[in-house]
Amino acid sequence: MVPTPITVRVPAKVNLHLSVGDSRQDGYHELVTVFQALSLTDEITVRSSDEPGIEVHGEGSESVPLDSDNLAWRAVLELARASGRDPDETGVHISINKGVPVAGGMAGGSADAAATLFALNALWKLELGRDELSEIAGRLGSDVPFALQGGTALGTGRGERLVPVLARHTYHWVIALHGEGLGTPEVYTELDRLRRNSDNRVGEVEPLLEALASGDPRELALLLGNDLQAAAVSLRPGLRRTLRAGVDAGALAGIVSGSGPTCAFLCTDGDEAVRVAAELSGAGVCRTVRVAQGPVPGARLVGDEHVDRPPTPPQVHA
C-alpha cells in the first residue's frame, strides 16, 4: 500500500536582531539573533515514488537547485541516515511550492529542509519528537531548527540554539523583494572586509526582548538591528533607496532581512501595512511588495485541525 503524500506548510523568517561576532575556527560566526516567523510560506509535499527527485514551482523556482545542492534533498539524506535507512534508496519525491523569496535572506531553503524533515517523519512513521528533529535540523543549517519551531525565538551559537521568546502582539510587516538574490557567504565575506576599516555593531539584545514583551510595535521599531545590513547595502547600494522609501511611506522602521537583499518594514497595524505596501510598490525601488504578519507557527501539516492556517498575505507588484 502506497503511503498518502504528506504536505507541510513552513514560514519565512525575519531577524529582528542579528548580532554577528567574529569568525570562529570552524568558519562560522558566533551569532545572537531574534527570529520571528512570518506568514509568507512554502508548501512542501513529500511522497513515495519510484522516481525520486525534486520539483520546484513558484516565483524564483528556476534558480533553485534540483540535486543534492538543495537543502531539502540533503534533509532526506540526513534523516535516512539518522533512521537507519539507505540514503541511496530513499524512494522519495519532493514537490516545493515557493512563497518565500529565493536567496532573499528569509531562510527559504532552510524552511524547505525543515518541512521535508517534518513531512518525512510522518511519511516514514518515525515518530521522532520535535527536539530530535531539531537536532538533525541543526546539522543541516543554522536557520533550519527555527523553521521547525516558528513563533519568536532567541538564537545563539550559529543561530541553531533556540529559546522561545514571549511576543505579546501580532506584528505587521511589509516585505520588499528584489530581483537579484544575495548569497549568504558573500555577505559574510563582505562584512569581514568592512570590519577591517570600521567595526560598528548592533547593541545588546535585552532591550529588544523587553520591547517584544511589551507588545508595542513603536518601541520594537526603535530597536531593530542587523550587523549584516551594512554588508548587504555595500553589495547592493540600491537597498539604501528601498529602506528610505519604506520609511518615507510611513513604516515605523525598515531593516534588511538576514543577509538580504529583501527588506522588511514594521508597521503599526494591518491597515497601515497595506497602505505602506501600496505606496512602496509605486516607488520603483523593488520588484515586488508583500504584506505579512508574525509570529506564526513553524512547520505544520496542511489540514492539521489543531492549527489555524495563517491568512494568505496580499501581494502588490511594483
DSSP β-bridge partners for residue 9: 43, 300
The SS3 call for residue 84 is: coil
Q: Does residue 108 have a known ligand-binding role?
A: yes
Q: Does residue 105 have a known ligand-binding role?
A: yes
Q: Does residue 82 have a known ligand-binding role?
A: no
Q: Does residue 111 have a known ligand-binding role?
A: yes
DSSP label at residue 150: B
Closest by alpha carbon to 118, among 314, 307, 284, 289?
307
Phi and psi of 309, rounded to 5°? Answer: -75, 130
Give the burial string for 159-196 (b: 16+ CB within 10 Å, else e).
Answer: bbebeebebeeebbbbbbbbeebbebeebbebbeeebe
Q: Does residue 101 have a known ligand-binding role?
A: yes
Q: Does residue 106 have a known ligand-binding role?
A: yes
Cell numbers given for 111: 524552511
Q: Does residue 91 have a known ligand-binding role?
A: no
Active site residues: 13, 143
Closest by alpha carbon to 86, among 118, 52, 114?
52
Q: Does residue 110 have a known ligand-binding role?
A: yes
Cell numbers given for 87: 540514503
Q: What does the angle CA 276 – CA 289 – CA 44 come to, to the nearest 5 degrees?
A: 135
Q: Using CA atoms, how far apart are residues 156 and 17, in angstroms rounded to an integer?
A: 11
Annotated binding site for ATP: 101-111
